[in-house]
């Protein structure tokens, strides 16, 4: 490893991301830091560090999934680290919640992702590490460094292992917002991409969906940053299949999977849904495969500590540098 690892590096976990944080610490080469949360009878809680972190670089890993207690716990852990005289406090947010509220798309609504950025900075965060933001411009809401990691570092090798010839492979965007992501995958793997255009009646309700492009006789991979109710994904898969696709699978970074989403996935025409563990699955499913991002986050933390660039943090170069392996779980 380039650079010498500091013995003053700590990795702590919020309650929403305990398992992932443990694996990140293991890949990094240190034990997960000791912390505790005292719970009052009325639901109020108080996190605390159970070891000295004075003068250390403190990484706090927490996805800000619902309920909002997870966000507030992260803010409290940051505040506690500052008050415990940590030298640097870095928030590692694998899934950045409220990211869909990145602009005023109608009157009298908040820009919640900007509000959260302000709260994190007010609490004392020095740096943020996150993965596949719903909107890239959220990085501009911060006045501190933001390291934005990409799920493509994990998913690209998975697609290569399918051994599908480039001429038979097509990437699909389930809506216009994900078209840039689908285009990037297609360019990397030398294949084409299509777009499913959708019109929403209201959030989580699709009015209509149309396919822009040809998928006849192709193996199609739908890519996106998150799957929530599963309605858009399943509808897109159905249209692609009806349009002549041989197989349809999806690779989506954040498995929000609200309500009956898993049941919808299981009943759909999808061959499989491949996700990461930025959010713990509510339950296992034969159709859902989880690729861990622990090695990717651990490598990013290594490079932050040793002041190395993370611009080229992709799967082939990564394994040659660290020899870190990632597995399907």
Of the residues 114, 198, 218, 235, only one is catalytic, namely: 198
H-helix or E-strand spanning residue 74: helix 69-83
State the burial class of residue 111 (Cβ atoms within 10 Å of its Cβ: 0-12, 13-18, 19+). middle
How far does CA 313 lie from the centroid of its chain? 15
Residue where the block lists tokens 């309700």? 205
User: Do 104 and 83 touch, CB atoms closer than 8 A?
Assistant: no
Q: What are the backbone dihedrals phi and psi of residue 66, each rounded to the nearest 5 degrees, phi first?
A: -60, 150
Q: What is the DSSP string of 85-129?
A: T-SEEEEEESS-TTTT--S-SSTT---HHHHHHHHHHHHT-SEEE
Residues making up the chain, counted from first to last: 329
Q: What are the backbone dihedrals phi and psi of residue 69, each rounded to the nearest 5 degrees, phi first?
A: -55, -35
Is 88 among the residues known to form the active site? Answer: no
Task: Give the active site residues.
Answer: 198
């Amino acid at each position: 490893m380039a650079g010498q690892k500091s013995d003053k590096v700590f990795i702590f976990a919020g309650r929403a991301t305990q398992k992932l944080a443990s694996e990140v610490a293991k890949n990094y080469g240190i034990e997960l830091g000791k912390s505790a949360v005292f719970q009052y009878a009325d639901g109020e809680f108080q996190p605390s560090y159970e070891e000295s972190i004075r003068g250390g670089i403190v990484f706090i890993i927490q996805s800000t999934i619902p309920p909002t207690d997870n966000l507030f716990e992260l803010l409290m852990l940051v505040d506690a680290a500052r008050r415990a005289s940590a030298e640097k406090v870095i928030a590692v947010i694998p899934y950045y919640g409220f990211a869909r509220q990145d602009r005023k798309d109608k009157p009298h609504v908040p820009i919640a992702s900007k509000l959260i950025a302000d709260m994190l900075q007010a609490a004392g965060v020095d740096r943020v590490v996150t993965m596949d933001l719903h909107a890239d411009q959220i990085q501009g809401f911060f006045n501190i460094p933001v390291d934005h990691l990409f799920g493509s570092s994990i998913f690209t090798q998975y697609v290569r292992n399918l051994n599908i010839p480039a001429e038979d492979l097509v990437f699909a965007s389930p809506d216009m917002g994900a078209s840039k992501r689908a285009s990037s995958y297609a360019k990397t793997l030398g294949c084409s991409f299509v777009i499913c255009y959708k019109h929403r009646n209201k959030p989580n309700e699709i009015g209509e969906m149309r396919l822009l492009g040809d998928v006849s006789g192709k193996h199609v991979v739908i890519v996106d940053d998150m799957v929530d109710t599963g309605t858009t994904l399943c509808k897109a898969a159905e249209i692609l299949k009806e349009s002549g696709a041989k197989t349809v699978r999806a690779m989506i970074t954040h498995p929000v999977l609200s309500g009956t989403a898993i049941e919808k996935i299981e009943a759909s025409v999808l061959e499989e849904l491949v996700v990461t563990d930025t959010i713990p699955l509510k339950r296992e499913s034969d159709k859902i495969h989880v690729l861990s991002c622990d090695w990717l986050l651990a490598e990013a933390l290594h490079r932050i500590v040793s002041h190395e660039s993370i611009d080229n943090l992709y799967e082939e170069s990564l394994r040659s540098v660290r020899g870190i392996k990632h597995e399907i779980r």
